[in-house]
Structure 1
Amino acid sequence: MAPYASDDAVGAERDEDPRPGRRKAARYAVPVAVVGVAAATIGLVPALADSGDPDLPRISAQQLIEKIARSDVQRLSGTVKISTDLGLPELGGLEDKLLSGAAGGSGDGSSADPRARLTELVSGTHTLRVAADGPDRQKLSLVESGAEYSLIHDGKDVWGYDSKSNQVHHSTTARSGRDRGAEPPATPKDFAEQALKSVDDTTSVTVDGTAQVAGRDAYKLLIRPRQSGTTVGAISIAVDARTGLPLKFTLTPSGGGAAVVDAGFTRVSFAEPAASTFAFTPPKGAKVTEGTDGSARPEHDRAGGTSRHGAPGHAPRPGGEAARGLSGAEVLGKGWTSVATFDTGAHGGLPTGAKGGDLGGFLGSIGEPASGAFGKGTVFSTRLVNALITDDGRVYAGAVTKDALVKAADAAK
């Protein structure tokens, strides 16, 4: 084990791309406020990172979170493998309709619209190629068998291209930086940011040794809820020892088994990507649909059709972030067992008959009856986020167990 070095000393080591005078850009990091929250909830005594993997200077959890917050990686390229297992049943094609509806899309929309297309990341295993050159140039490609979907941000232009259907979705943005409204979390950094927002006094945060990820030396940050009743077991984040960039994110459920989310680089380079990486011209004969700055209004495409836009899909959020992720919801409780609740205004239970259609039949087939002081309802369970819909039209949802949902509904009465 190397002698103890302060986090500043570790961070002083420079990685590739040591160019002087490079332009200042939006940081690829968690808000600095996270560091202040974490300081009050985790031990400050340095933990030995001595798992037998890379021999790195010891570092405390607080120092490691500070390293993530200071990380300013602006240029990279690499490959990310992401696996998501929420334990959803096979839906026989209905999942496409549900995901499209959640993204605000429709059957006649562009297959290249990122807000509908990238909802594929909420299930299964996928390979992504990613590249970035500052806040105004990024590319993410979803690699499939015999086809590829690419999302390219180059200056004010945002392009989505589906090679299988030869369709293009184009929009412009006046905002600098990555267009978060157009895509769900996809990289380890994206997931790590959301997980660190859940760190409070209901959380244990420690350094859990070291690891090698994509050929890079990394520290492992371990986040565990201190509360019972949550479906989150633990979150492990592998943090690059030099740059502070999260290289791998793994969320395991309290019920055991495979990870719910496992996203990590299999290859990464911090060299400047070629300018051609971010250049895009619609292929000949492609159908191009025009949008504007993430607009939610319909836009006519060049082929005379129409595409519709709506709220983007999102990958699962851990802990209290799952509850806070629902717009307009009231949050009950604290920390990892917090539950979001809102009134749908739809009394009479689940949708059925002509109005309910496939959705009503699907929900009825996978739901589990529940009752309590709140009345009666149906619980819909995944391995992470669960929801209770009461017969009077109220919804309770969070990364909590069925018993915790019922308890929250009872207490709200």
Structure 2
Amino acid sequence: MAPYEPEKDTSESADLRAGRRKAARYAVPIAVAGVAAVTIGLVPALATSGDPDLPKVTAQELIEKIAASDTQQLSGNVKISTDLGLPSFGGMAGGFGGGGGADRDEDGGSEGSAADPKNKLMELASGTHTLRVAADGPDKQKVSVLGDASEYSLIHNGDDVWAYDSASNEAYHAKDEGASPEKGEKHGKDVPKGLEGKLPATPKEFAEQALKAVDDTTSVKVDGTAQVAGRDAYRLVIEPKQAGSTVGRITVAVDEKTGTPLKFTLTPASGGAAVVDAGFTKVDFGKPSASTFDFTPPKGTKVTEADEHGEQGRGFKDKGGKKFEEGDLNEPKVIGEGWSSIAELKLPGGQGLPTAGSGDVPQDAQKLLDSLGDQVDGKFGSGTVFSTRLINALVTDDGTVYVGAVTKDALVKAADEAH
């Protein structure tokens, strides 16, 4: 089927921006809207079949269809895969907080919980994962990450947020306190308290983030149809117009009947497999059973309350032994606009990465660090570029970081122009 092209008129860009704003404003918490948002990944090329003959729509009409969708009840399975091109650390993963267990303090004691959602992010940042999801409005969501012989579940039910890791028999409990005294808002309206701003996991959440980028720097069109999870869908294609971005294209399969995004695929400008490919393999828009969202810790489960260690931030020490927390990082300065924008920020202490020559890191650790990055220099001096298939970061020797979904050359150019 030939691609559908959007209508060409002088108001198209304004219409697309208006549709994007509406999509953000009318976003509904489907498929664990903030609960699932602590997971990441996606489908290894979800099988799609057929080329359904659907009524022709423009890109603007399809964006409006997403904005108008009001899907608040569903259940189903999502397959998630990510391929950022990161090296495998093997047994070292646990040392970076990705081993699935609780952190250890300096005395060897346990700090935190293996069920804490933050401890699952590293595990889900690569590879393929199967999720079972369910949602019933803004106050009831559940996502389960299915393993070979274990299951990790995150449940939001009213005022309670529970996470349970069957492998360690540990649970993590937090309260969704509802009203925010600063803004007078309900946390539960969109995401449970403490899970705001986490990484998206469902096709709808990915699509909403992509639609926020729709402006004059973006090409948007409807490119045919497909079937996803047995449902007819339109294919919305979003591509950067600017040079220098590592994003090639984003494709969103939009359910023809409900306007719900069913699949999200991000392919890099360099080609090859998708960086993120997320989609439903099975979906039901009926009301899930109320018992789906019930949870009581099994007998013998170690339960950790969020406020027991919620204020303990992860920090690091500079050469003088001063400890810096996450909050010490300054607000980034944004260079450029659109898809080629770059964030510039300063590392605490005004210094670059530690080196073996200065005695700050072991020789073996220095070799690993060197193998992960490329040495570059320019008007800014010298530094190291750490690359993935999507996000690249330049860390200069004077402690300045430039990061974005842009090429290495774009980072070096930005650093030169800043000096």
Residue-by-residue CA offset, 1:177-233 (whole Å, 9 max, x unaligned): 332743521111111111111111110000011110001111110000011111000
Counterparts of 2:135 and 2:193 in 1: how far apart (Å)?
A: 14
The CA RMSD over aligned residues, in Å, is 2.8
Contact conserved, 2:98 with 2:123, CA < 8 A, in 1?
no
* Distance in structure 1 (CA, Å) of the matches to 2:146 and 2:226: 27
- Report Cα offsets for 1:91-124 as digits up to 9, x if no partner: 13333433559x9x73432110012214422111
Aligned to 2:14: none
Shift of 1:33: 6.8
Question: 1:43: which partner in 2?
Answer: none
Within-5 A mapping of 1:260-339: 260-292=275-307, 296-297=310-311, 308=312, 328-339=331-342
Partner residue, 1:32: 22
Counterpart in 2 of 1:405? 411
Give the C-alpha shift of residue 363 in structure 1: 2.5
1:396 maps to amino acid: Y
Asked if the contact 1:100/1:106 (under 8 Å) is kept, the reply is no
What aligned pairs does 1:202-281 form with structure 2 within 5 A after superposition? 202-281=217-296
Displacement of 1:364 after TM fit? 2.5
Call closer, same or farther: CA 1:360–1:284 in 2, change over 3 Å: farther
* 8 Å contact kept, 2:330–2:345: no
Which residue identity does 1:201 align to in structure 2? D
CA distance, structure 1, for counterparts of residue 138 and residue 188 of structure 2:
6
Task: For residue 388 of structure 1, report the CA deviation from its aligned partner.
Answer: 0.2
Q: Within the alignment, does 1:176 sit opposite 2:188 as a pair?
A: yes
* 1:9-46 deviations in Å (ceiling 9; x for gaps): xxxxxxxxxxxxxxxxxxxx9751769xxxxxxxxxxx
For residues 204 and 330 of structure 2, the distance between their equivalents in structure 1, rounded to whole angstroms, comes to 23
Structure 1 residue 346, shift from structure 2 partner: 4.0
Number of matched residues? 346
Q: Map 1:9-408 to 2 at 5 A.
A: 31-32=21-22, 53-99=51-97, 106-107=103-104, 108=110, 109-174=112-177, 175-177=187-189, 178-179=191-192, 181-182=194-195, 183-292=198-307, 296-297=310-311, 308=312, 328-353=331-356, 355-356=360-361, 362-408=368-414
Which blocks of at least 5 consecutive residues in structure 1 are unaligned? 5-28, 36-50, 298-307, 312-325
Q: Distance in 2 between matches of 1:373 and 1:225?
A: 29
Distance 1:180 1:171 in 2: 8
**What TM-score does the superposition give when structure 2 sets the normalisation length?**
0.77
For residues 259 and 23 of structure 2, the distance between their equivalents in structure 1, rounded to whole angstroms, comes to 17
Within 1, Cα distance between the matches of 2:63 and 2:283? 21
Q: Tell which deviates more after alignment, 211-220 or 352-361.
A: 352-361
* 1:338-363 Cα distance to aligned partner (Å, 9 max, x none): 10000114455322357546865532
What is the TM-score of this pair, normalised by structure 1? Answer: 0.78
**Which position in structure 1 is the counterpart of 2:326?**
none
Q: Distance in 1 between matches of 2:355 and 2:399?
A: 14
> Amino acid of the residue matched to residue 179 of structure 1?
P
SS at match of 2:236: strand
Sequence identity, in percent? 61
**In the TM superposition, what whole-angstrom CA distance separates every residue of 1:206-264 from its partner, at most 9, and x where no partner exists?**
00111100011111100000111110000000011111111000000000100000000
Contact 1:206/1:223, CA 8 A, preserved across alignment: yes
